[in-house]
Chains A and B, each alone.
Chain A
Amino acid sequence: TQLLEQSPQFLSIQEGENLTVYCNSSSVFSSLQWYRQEPGEGPVLLVTVVTGGEVKKLKRLTFQFGDARKDSSLHITAAQPGDTGLYLCAGELAGTASKLTFGTGTRLQVTL
């Protein structure tokens, strides 16, 4: 059973479109991170959110942590081919000695 479910699993869009990726759980997380992974490489951190309801922006990317700290979303505005990759959310459960639980992943392809 996956603690963190991401949707959609795959997303293929054209340059300039907007998109939202969701990360949902029935568990409460003390913090949540989003990573992006490119082929042949390890995941790279995009953002960390800690407070329920928190919103962070990273250029065209907007991250939100749910009020109850059980879910999160990633919104990309005007997607570009450089946004192509695998997006992973990862949550830290309280009292788990810094272990991250990763979501199932969303593979995004942005075409010209």
Chain B
Amino acid sequence: NAGVTQTPKFRVLKTGQSMTLLCAQDMNHEYMYWYRQDPGMGLRLIHYSVGEGTTAKGEVPDGYNVSRLKKQNFLLGLESAAPSQTSVYFCASRSPGQWSYGYTFGSGTRLTVV
């Protein structure tokens, strides 16, 4: 089925460890986004990309880096994980010409930093 796939689905990290979250979409969408979701705060934008090779900071970018080397993939990296980065991370994509169709989201990655 077409959509957005996130890997891994769950991960536990120790403080200071690094990891990369992978997002892959097969809908040929130009725009891709990384959000984090915390209780009572909705979704907050970390980084986003409007095309292959381009990235930009969102609302809460500190402690994260991203790369968009291929149009279909958007990677989110944590260089030195902190307990404050415990959250559920969602990747989303959309086509710029189909804004009314909204974002297509992945099913999330639940990350715990101990």
Contact = CB atoms under 8 A, between A and B. Distances in A.
A44 B42 contact: no
Given A40-B108, A42-B90, A99-B48, A35 B102 contact: yes
A109 to B, nearest CB: 15
B58 A2 contact: no
A33 interface: yes
Most buried by B among A40, A42, A45, A90: A42
B50 interface: yes
Contact of A102 (B42, B48, B56, B108): B42
A37 B107 CA distance: 10
Contact of B41 (A43, A50, A104): A104
Contacts of B94: 98
Contacts of A98: 31, 50, 94, 96, 99
A105 B103 CA distance: 17
Interface residues of A, number: 27
B107 A40 contact: yes
A104 B37 CA distance: 10
A105 B50 CA distance: 26
Nearest to B41: A104
A83 interface: no
B40 A48 contact: no
A4 interface: yes
A12 interface: no
A92 interface: yes
25 contacts: A4-B42, A31-B99, A31-B100, A41-B107, A41-B108, A42-B105, A42-B107, A43-B43, A44-B105, A45-B102, A45-B103, A48-B100, A88-B42, A90-B43, A97-B48, A97-B50, A97-B56, A98-B31, A98-B50, A98-B94, A98-B96, A101-B45, A102-B43, A104-B40, A105-B42
List the 9 closest pairs (A to B, CB-CB), nearest first.
A42-B105, A45-B102, A102-B42, A102-B43, A48-B100, A104-B42, A105-B42, A103-B42, A42-B90
